[in-house]
Structure 1
Amino acid sequence: MRVTVFGATGSIGRLVVQRLLDDGHTVTTLVRTPAKLGLTHLRLTLTTGQPSDQTAVRTAVAGADVVISALGPTLKRSATGTPVTEGTKNIVAAMESEKVTRYIGLATPSLTDPKDNPHWKLKVLPVMARLMFPNALIELRGMTAAVTATGLDYTIARITNPTNKPASGRIRSGFLGHDKIGSTMARADIAAFLVSQLTDTRYPRTMPAISN
């Protein structure tokens, strides 16, 4: 498949790109500094720019079968503004213009999915986020709403505590209060789950929680 990846220089995004290439896909990325990605490949196209640049975003999305966004908000308490939300809106607009319908992205269980049942995380995590990372929570809500309010075929994986442990290959996914989902997950396994959604049909227009 032809996959466009946003957030490719991040700790999860870089793993997503490598996984896609290993699996034989053709990858386009939008990166501010191409050298920062540290990858070269015949099936990898590096587009220079950032999500705030509508023209660059549309160039990166053109011709794609799927978009994977590994973008996420900064956790700095001093952060202000909503650059990730605005960038996601640009991605959605580009997808609609280029008639790309499949979107795979990230969020956290601070946000709920209609398939969730009552669960302590749905009560505790939003409160913690408001206290510790208020702007990040605003960003998460904004970037997620930018996708879910559209007709896109989206799957947004909710993660809680990513780690740099080696990939275990053990991935739990489902909905809070219904499936047994933990909190910790290796970033390599998060990347593997995102890539698996290229062909996994279990989670159309939903936000499954995932863990090891």
Structure 2
Amino acid sequence: MKVTVFGATGGIGRFVVAQLLAAGHHVTAVVRNPAKLTLTYPDLAVVTAELTDTTAVTEAVTGADAVISALGPSLKRSDTGRPVTDATKTIVAAMQAAGVSRFIGLATPSLADPRDKPHWKHKVLPVMARLAFPNALIELENMTAAVTGSGLDYTIARITAPKDKPATGHIRSGFLGHHRIGSTMSRADIAAFLITQLTDTRYHRAMPAISN
């Protein structure tokens, strides 16, 4: 498949790019600083662009079978801007203009999916996030709304505590109150889950929670 990846130099995005290439996919990585992407691969195209540049982003997604966004908000309490929200809105508009419908991205269990049952995470996590990372939670709410309200065929994986640990190959996924989902997960396994969604139809237009 042809897959355009945003957030390709981040903690999760770099695993997404590497695993896609290892699986034989053609990858277009959209980055602001190409020096941070050290991979060289015949099936890797690197596009340098600001994520507010609708023209450049549209060119990057044109012809893609799917888009994977590993973008996430800054966790600095002092930050007040909405760069990830604005970037996500640009990506959505670009996909609509290019006729690309499949979007795979990330969020948090602080945000509920309609398939969830009442769960302690719905009560505790938003309170913790508003206290510790207030701007990040607003960013996550806004970027998720931009995707779910777009008409795109999306899957948004909700993660809680990504870790820099080796991949385990053991991934739990589902909806809160229905399935046993933990909190921690290796970034390599998060990337692997996102890539499986290229062909897995279980979570179309859904936001499954995932963990190891």
Which position in structure 1 is the counterpart of 2:16?
16
For 2:83 and 2:187, the matched residues in 1 are separated by 23
Residue deviations 1:152-178 (CA, integer Å, cap 9, x gap): 100000000000110000000000111
| Unaligned stretches of 5+ residues in structure 2 | none
Question: What's the TM-score, normalizing by structure 2?
Answer: 0.99
Which position in structure 2 is the counterpart of 1:109?
109
Shift of 1:81: 1.4
For residue 158 of structure 1, what is the amino acid of its counterpart? R
Within 5 A, what are the aligned runs for 1:38-53? 38-53=38-53
For residue 136 of structure 1, what is the amino acid of its counterpart? A
For residue 117 of structure 2, what is the amino acid of its counterpart? N
Structure 1 range deviating more: 5-14 or 54-63: 54-63
Quick one: percent identity of the two aligned structures? 72
Which position in structure 2 is the counterpart of 1:79?
79
Which position in structure 1 is the counterpart of 2:152?
152
For 1:82 and 1:189, the matched residues in 2 are separated by 28
Residue deviations 1:80-108 (CA, integer Å, cap 9, x gap): 11110011000000000000000000000
For 2:63 and 2:201, the matched residues in 1 are separated by 22
Look up the SS of the partner of 2:68 in the other structure: strand
Look up the SS of the partner of 1:84 in the other structure: helix
Look up the SS of the partner of 1:19 in the other structure: helix
What's the C-alpha RMSD, in Å, of the aligned pairs? 0.6
CA contact (8 A) 1:30 1:56 kept: no
Residue deviations 1:176-210 (CA, integer Å, cap 9, x gap): 11100000000000000000000001001000000
| Unaligned stretches of 5+ residues in structure 1 | none
CA contact (8 A) 1:25 1:43 kept: yes
